[in-house]
Amino acid sequence: MAGREPTPKLSLERRVKGFEEIKGAYRPQQAVAEAARCLYCDDPPCNQGCPAGIDVLGFIQRLKTRNFSGAYRLIRRENPLGAICSRICPTEQLCEKECSSTELNEPIAIADLQRFVTDLELEKGIELPPKAKSSGKKVAIIGSGPAGLACASQLALLGHSPTIFEKERIPGGVLRNGIPEYRLPKRIVDRELDYLKRLGVEIKTNLEVKKIGPLFKKGFEAIFIAIGANEPVYMGIPGENLEGVYTAQEFLRRAKNNPKGLKIGRRVAVIGGGNVAMDSASTALRLRAREVAIIYRRTQKEMPAWREEIEEAREEGVWFSFLTLPTRFLGKRLEGMECIRMGLGKKDRSGRPRPVPIRGSEFTMPINTVILAIGQRSDPSFSKMNPGLEIDRAGLVIVKKKTQATSLKGVFAGGDIVSGGATVVEAIGEGKRAAVAIDKYLKKQG
Ligand SMILES: Cc1cc2nc3c(=O)[nH]c(=O)nc-3n(C[C@H](O)[C@H](O)[C@H](O)COP(=O)(O)OP(=O)(O)OC[C@H]3O[C@@H](n4cnc5c(N)ncnc54)[C@H](O)[C@@H]3O)c2cc1C
């Protein structure tokens, strides 16, 4: 068993340049062969590595015996967004990192196996799992990103009536309005949303919740805040309001929903060093920019983006200008960018060396589109409108770890509005944890 050759990992296949999804899904015999490499550990570390709580070993065992429907039922029980996670989870840092097969050979390609299983489920049509008897209790969920969706799905299974309030026209949060189409197609998110609606989750769009108090008056007995932290951050330098300067949030949303209507120049600079910057750069290439550069003020070593994302962007033709800081955007409509070279000083609060400008090193770069991808933050107006909701210095909601309970009675929170920006699967884990705590809370209320 230990000597079996791993089935090639599909996610490592080179990407194509276009908005169509990165090609490749296992064929049944490939999936079964890959599942057969599993060592079936007694205390499977892969299970511990999944924040959504999927029984990874369990679904791989079912795959090995060709019990495909058993495998997808098992995944769906724990994760209502399994097909989404199989495409965008950083599994190499989670379940696959923990996989015991790594010591012998390659880790089992868990994401590719999960994609095989969940795609098969989508093809066959998602079955509704059994639900608990109706409790008649209404729960309000603010925000329809992965945290809100996971919480709503668990609450519906537990017999409660969840209603999601979403300020945007299209629900799904970053899944539907941020993550590029070639990594996560809209049709996959829509299929999972459709399942949630069939499960009994009501989703009200174009409805921004500003104050939570009135929701209790409307008969909701508990509230889950899942508003994310997706407000843009600006550099505060001259020229940021010029035509041709986008925030990554606006750029990615428009590229996802109406790429033909998004006109960009031939030379594009993306400012920032995180995953959102990599997504923006790869998207700009797909919109036919001739040159796309990532401008980052430190070196590659300090970049927060995942290594795979950096390598993939580089392979696609994105180039990198390290130790560079823009100081001014130039022109009536953006024509160029003034920058300064940086050196690295002592470590700052983030534990990374502080970038220090090198005097006299200013230079100009000709560009016609800039995408600002220097971070995102929470919406400060929400906590201002809801006094008593305890937040930290960064404006993130403070919760009890085990229950996701906030400082307000009956109010819970999870996802990026608590973490400040993590992953989809972590948001799902927090949404599920909150649902369990809300269920207990509602039962206590009688
Ligand atoms: C471009 C991009 C790419 C990413 N890629 C990945 C990836 O590949 N893998 C990964 O695991 N993670 C990725 N992430 C991170 C991941 O998307 C987030 O961690 C996750 O979406 C957080 O989920 P959430 O539910 O907390 O918030 P969100 O997904 O941000 O959803 C919050 C929702 O709340 C709504 N809302 C806000 N305020 C209100 C209000 N007052 N009333 C009503 N509705 C409101 C918003 O409109 C939004 O729909 C990426 C993030 C970005 C920005």
Say which CATH number the domain at 360 has: 3.50.50.60
Full residue range of the structural domain in which residue 103 is found: 10-124
pLDDT confidence of residue 101: 78
Pocket, ligand 1, Cβ cutoff 6 A: 88-89, 142-148, 165-168, 173-174, 178-179, 208-209, 226-228, 230, 252, 275-276, 279, 379, 382, 415-417, 421-425, 427
- Given the CA of residue 184, which atom of ligand 1 is nearest to it? 8
Instruction: Please give the structure tokens belonging to residue 300.
Output: 């590659």
Q: How far does Cα 445 stand from its chain's mean position?
A: 34
Last residue of a domain, one of 348, 376, 404: 376
CATH number at residue 58: 1.10.1060.10
- Shortest-distance atom of ligand 1 to CA 376: 53
pLDDT in single tens digits along all 446 residues of the chain: 344 566 655 444 445 467 777 656 889 999 999 999 999 998 999 999 899 999 999 999 999 999 999 999 999 999 999 999 999 999 988 999 988 877 777 899 999 999 999 999 999 999 999 999 999 999 999 999 999 999 999 999 999 999 999 999 999 999 999 999 999 999 999 999 999 999 999 999 999 999 999 999 999 999 999 999 999 999 999 999 999 999 999 999 999 999 989 989 999 999 999 999 999 999 999 998 999 999 999 999 999 999 989 999 999 999 999 999 999 999 999 999 999 999 999 998 888 899 999 999 999 999 999 999 999 999 999 999 999 999 999 999 999 999 999 999 999 999 999 999 999 999 999 999 999 999 999 999 87
Establish if 219 belongs to a structural domain: yes
- Domain shared by 261 and 361, yes or no: yes
pLDDT of 1: 37
Cα of 362 vs centre of ligand 1, distance in Å, is: 37
On the 0-12 / 13-18 / 19+ scale of CB atoms within 10 A, 100 is middle
Task: Please say which residue of 345, 376, 407 terminates a domain.
Answer: 376
CA 315 to chain centre: 22
What are the b/e assignments for 358-374, b being 16+ CB within 10 Å? eeeeeeebebbbbbbbb
Write the residue with the smallest CA distance to atom 50 of ligand 1.
179
Residues 395 and 304 placed together within one structural domain of the fold: no
In this structure, the answer to whether residues 321 and 434 fall within a common structural domain is no
- SS3 assignment, position 226: coil
Give this prediction's pTM.
0.94
- The residue among 59, 73, 189 whose CA lies nearest residue 121 is 73
Ligand 1 mean position, distance from CA 231 (Å): 10
Give pLDDT, residue 19: 75
Structural tokens at position 316 = 């696609």
Pair (383, 368) in one structural domain: no
346 and 312 in a common domain: yes
Give residue 6's pLDDT: 62
Q: Which among 36, 86, 99, 26 has a CA at the least distance from the CA of 65? A: 36
Cα(175) to centroid(ligand 1), Å: 7
Contacts 24+ apart (CB under 8 A), 356-361: 357/325
Q: How far away, in angstroms, is 150 Cα from ligand 1 center?
A: 13
Cα gap 240→51, rounded to integer Å: 38
CA of 325 from ligand 1 middle (Å) equals: 28
